[in-house]
Structure 1
Amino acid sequence: MTDASVPSPAQQYWDGFYQDQDQGQDQGPARAVRPNPLLVREVGSLAPGTALDLGCGEGGDAIWLAGQGWRVTAVDVSATVLRRAAARALDAGVADSIRWERHDLPQSFPAGLFDLVSAQFLHSPVAAEGEREKILRGAADAVAPGGVLLVISHAGWPSWLEHPPFEYHFPTTREVLASLDLPAHRWHVEVEDLVDRELTGPGGQSGRRQDSVLRVRRTR
């Protein structure tokens, strides 16, 4: 697991976010985490190869990918959550298939090309203007010929949230594609979808949330 010496504002925010989750919880064996079901839907039919998981969080997607035979590089800005995810991978028996790296993605990016580059819910209240677009352009650059870029995003706040905690623009798939500016002779859009899901809120509320799915293949 790579590291850096000076914490960035993003690392400080997300380390605090995940440390707050630990407060008052049993610090026993790491609980299992589930992969994003939309990632499972989009990746389940792909032949395993190398995968880059950007903003891996607690490791649910990376652990699932490794269990399917992928060799995964999993990246997050929070050293706290990377340690937690690595412990879960060890418990799941896939630790040897995952490399954990800490990157503040607007400042540093994993090296190499990958058969799958996955950016799941890459939203941050502390991101500067244009940072998300910069990260996704780096994600596209990291896709190997024949590989897939998968961007899954929230399309809005959940229905039970009457007063959002901060102002945020959730980009559409059209906006993501426009910001990527992918050459048409090298890329093919395979999936562009808006999914409406039933969800239960943290207080047991019943509600819904929409997510957008963009899957693009680099043809050469």
Structure 2
Amino acid sequence: MLSDLEFERYRKQLNLPEWRKAQQMALKNASILVVGAGGLGCGALPFLAAAGVGSLTILDADVIELSNLARQVLYRTEDVGASKALKAAEALQALNPTIAIQGIAVNLTSENAATYVAQHDLIIDCTDNFKTRYLINDTCVEWRKPFIYGAIHAWEGQFAVFHPSGPSYRKLFPVEPSPQEIPACDEVGVLGVLPGIIGLLQAKEAIFYLAGFESPAQKSLMTFDLRDMRLSSFTL
């Protein structure tokens, strides 16, 4: 059930004709694992918490660096040196005290992936490396869990919803690229709004998926170019 406080908190979205108590309850009863609390995670997490996702678990072993702050807007200058996962959880709990949030300062590994993935309804890939992304995919395939992929490079980003009844990320990209083929943000650079936009779109896809709404990203790889604001889709 939704409390009076929750009805008031989510009143604006509950006023949508297509968004009723059933959709809000679907969010409240859902548990999401967000792997990565960097640029993509900082774009996705506030809107997942604000929308009323009942349980959020954040995995990230990194600490906050000064160079993160131009794009990772959950953190403050005084947070430099602190755990991303713990500080993100603290900020989100302040945003919405009615939901359960857990920040865990570890990375997803082959040893713990099954444990974390099995415990959640939906996984959101907010990582910045291919090794973890393929691990997320393979574990989700094994446990038949949906996951929402997001990635950025320079001025472009992409995202998609991979679900048990459709093709997997590994089917789309069978060969894991080397670090030399696709260099990291530290080498090519990134404008902070790009991971924010892609992370926000990942949050939107998570909300749509949990609420039972259809979306092009559930059947396509979506790509976004920041320079000309072009959003394209490629059917999976």
Q: RCO higher in 1 or 2 (8 Å CA, sep ≥ 6)?
A: 2
TM-score (norm 2): 0.44
Q: Report which of the two has the higher share of strand.
A: 1
Q: Which has the higher helix share?
A: 2
TM-score w.r.t. structure 1 length?
Answer: 0.47
